[in-house]
A and B are shown apart, each in its own frame.
Chain A
Amino acid sequence: MDANLTGKSDDELMVLFQNGVQEAFEEVVLRYKNGLYQYILSLVKDDGAAGDLFQEVFLALFTHAADFRAEGKLKSWLFQTARNKVLHFWRDSKTPLSLDETDEEGNAFWHETLAEDSPALLDVLQTQELGEKIRQAADKLPPRQREVIFLRQYMSFKEMSEFLHRPIGTVLADCHRGLQKMKVLLSQGDVL
């Protein structure tokens, strides 16, 4: 991979690709492959389906690259396309998924409703299996909270607000509730 491409912005890469530089498209794929794959996988929870949808997103970009306008929104486009494809995937499946579901009443500050910070929980934080337990706890979240928890790895709250078409306060509250629930799950040992 051309080292010069790694320092280029998303828009610059897309312009290069529109002008025939195939490596520019590959750089875009390499730049977003991990985050996009994880985001899709977090929502569909199936490696095969995630792989198919992952390819569909980038194939769509490849096919419609000529129509892409360099406005600094490639990341948003990729994740939005992925989200749409996930929604279509679930719509066609037997167990429909709603990304608006939530089972939380919500509180202003997430730590006010957390399980007590017992030594047991802090001990859990020291174990080597913590990473796996955290991932399992995140997987148990309702889709709406799970989506925000994972999107937070790649987007600011402002970006998430625009991406999800929700007020920033709502996104923040969803994230709070998600993290709160994860702590409860971990403290109760409700993850395998």
Chain B
Amino acid sequence: MNCENLLFYVQGELDESALRAFEAHLKTCARCQKDLLFVRRADQALAAPAAPGALVDKLFAKTTRKQSFWVRYKTVWLGFVAAAVVGVLFIPHPDKTPTLNAEVLAYLSENLDADYQTFASDLAEFENEF
């Protein structure tokens, strides 16, 4: 009957009297000695390996270390703000951008010359009358 107590013995669940009885039995039972060896080797082999660290980090990120929506996307918001600032300051405004397009410049110059000549002619006529 003492062989039945092997697993209770390994688990430390025998009361004092049963423990003494089993230890006395163990000294004389070769089969229990081998079985005990196997159970202890099995316990070593089956000892829980560490849970993946990334798994625990992910859990904490969802629970105790969860960041607010704004904090989590702080980089994104800052990026948007920076892009908006750059856009206001540096994106060319059509009315103020000095054009380097030679063709357009020449066209405008032609019109300007033509407009100037018309103006100069009108001015001369006006001055002659007065």
Contacts and interface: CB of A to CB of B under 8 A. Distances in A.
- Give me the 8 closest cross-chain CB pairs, A-B, nearest first: A37-B51, A134-B45, A38-B48, A131-B45, A22-B64, A34-B48, A33-B51, A62-B63
B70 to A, nearest CB: 20
B59 interface: yes
A134 B42 contact: yes
A179 B55 CA distance: 31
Interface residues of B, number: 35
A152 B46 CA distance: 10
Given A47-B52, A55-B58, A138-B46, 4 more contacts: A37-B48, A37-B52, A125-B41, A175-B7
A134 B43 CA distance: 9
Interface residues of A, number: 46
Interface of A: 22-23, 25-26, 29-30, 33-38, 47, 51, 54-55, 58-59, 62, 108-111, 117, 122, 125, 130-132, 134-135, 138, 149-150, 152-154, 156-158, 172, 175-176, 179, 182-183
Interface in B96-114: none
B64 A25 contact: yes
B43 A29 contact: no
Contact of A55 (B13, B35, B48, B59): B59
